[in-house]
Amino acid sequence: MFRQLFGLCVLIAASTVLAQASPLPRVDLTAGFHRIEAEVAANQADRSQGLMNRRSMAANQGMIFVFPQTATHCFWMKNTPLPLSIAFLDEQGKIINIDEMAPETEDNHCPARPARFALEMNAGWFKAKGLQAGATIGGVDRLPPGR
């Protein structure tokens, strides 16, 4: 009985860890000499899920949202306990604007003009690196097409 109970506990713990691990592809991006390891959300299902229910993220990790076309793509933080910064990017990876997003809120965060990509990082990441509108995120040319 003890072995079965122990085995069940191990199985539940393993499934919890696997559920938290992201199955999304990753890409290396750059911001000046800073390296970013970004999960790629290039389809509607992955973009809708985003970083929901994540409680932490490593210092130079983030998520890049790839859209099929340049438009006004807005974000919110419902079911997202992790405070984030978001940079909206044009087709070439140039930052249009950056916004700070408080956890578990439904406020809209939108680009100042139509954007092709959005990059979410831990709160304050862009400011801490001295990045602002006009800076370029390198590597967007290697991203898959949005669908």
Q: Which residue has the higher pLDDT, 101 or 21?
A: 101
The answer to whether 22 and 119 have CB atoms below 8 angstroms apart is: no
Architecture of domain 24-142 in CATH? Sandwich (2.60)
The answer to whether 60 and 35 have CB atoms below 8 angstroms apart is: yes
Q: Which residue has the higher pLDDT, 14 or 122?
A: 122
The answer to whether 114 and 14 have CB atoms below 8 angstroms apart is: no
Tell me the pLDDT tens digit for each residue of 28-87: 999 999 999 999 999 999 999 999 999 999 999 999 999 999 999 999 999 999 999 999
Those residues with Cβ within 8 angstroms of residue 71's Cβ, 6 or more apart along the chain or in another chain:
114, 115
Q: Is the pLDDT of residue 13 over 60?
A: no
Tell me the pLDDT tens digit for each residue of 72-131: 999 999 999 999 999 999 999 999 999 999 999 999 999 999 999 999 999 999 999 999
Query: pLDDT at position 16, please?
Result: 38
Structure tokens, 20: 């938290």
Those residues with Cβ within 8 angstroms of residue 17's Cβ, 6 or more apart along the chain or in another chain:
none
The answer to whether 55 and 103 have CB atoms below 8 angstroms apart is: no
Query: Helix/strand/coil (H, E, C) string of the chain?
Result: CHHHHHHHHHHHHHHHHHHHCCCCCEEEEEECCEEEEEEEECCHHHHHHCCCCCCCCCCCEEEEEEEEEEECCCECCCCCCCCEEEEEECCCCEEEEEEEECCCCCCCECCCCCEEEEEEEECCHHHHCCCCCCCEEECHHHCCCCC
Return the domain boundaries, the chain. 24-142
pLDDT band at 21 (very low <50, low <70, confident <90, very high): low
Query: pLDDT at position 23, please?
Result: 85
Query: pLDDT at position 7, please?
Result: 42
Q: Is the pLDDT of residue 3 over 90?
A: no
Calculate mean pLDDT across residues 13-24: 51
pLDDT band at 12 (very low <50, low <70, confident <90, very high): very low
